[in-house]
Amino acid sequence: MSDEKPARRFAASALRGLVDGVGHDVSDRVRREIDAARSEGEARPAQRVAAAALGGVVGGVGQNVAALVRQELGAARTEAVGSARAAARGAGLLAVAAAAGNTAGLFVGIAIWRGLGNRIGFARSALVVAGLSATAAGVLASRGTAELARVKRMPTASHEKPAVDPEDDQTRAM
């Protein structure tokens, strides 16, 4: 997953910038508030001012974090929508290819039926073509069932086992 490194780098730099900004905001705000309180003649303004400044900065940090989370969610949504569109386009192309393959198979079957019909009769040649088609369907159904049996479940974390057993030699034989 090559997308994880840039995302981690972005998150680390955003967090670093947030921490640096908070430090500067706190110190600047505390200085301003203490200076303002002293100019008003207050004797010990530091504790009250520091608490007020820290509260304001924490509120600002919350807003900054919320903005970052909204941006990340927006980017993730945009990426997911793009992936879904590409998947839908690919599925549509595969469906059209399947229909074209089905039509080609039909005409090949008709050609075999006609070719054999001239030699052994059309009724017998129809049975031969039907038998060949049924055999092909049985083999494909058997392999498809075996392939689906290998699928266990979708992994939810990177440390879980993959959905398909990589040690299975049938996949390599294809």
Determine the 3-state secondary structure of 32 from DSSP.
helix
At 12 the pLDDT is: 64
At 52 the pLDDT is: 65
**One digit per residue, pLDDT tens: the chain, 174 residues?**
455 666 666 666 666 666 666 566 666 666 676 677 667 766 555 666 666 666 666 677 777 778 888 888 888 888 888 888 889 999 999 999 999 999 999 999 999 999 999 999 999 999 999 999 999 999 989 998 888 888 776 555 555 555 555 555 554 454
At 134 the pLDDT is: 92
At 15 the pLDDT is: 61
At 73 the pLDDT is: 87
- Count Cα atoms within 13 angstroms, Cβ side, for 80: 6
Give the span between the Cα atoms of 45 and 51, in whole angstroms: 10
10 CA to centre of own chain: 19
Let me know: does 138 contact 130? Beta carbons within 8 Å.
Answer: no
Indicate yes or no: pTM above 0.75: no
At 153 the pLDDT is: 62
The structure tokens 């998150």 sit at 11
Runs of H (alpha helix) within the chain: 4-39, 46-120, 122-150, 169-173
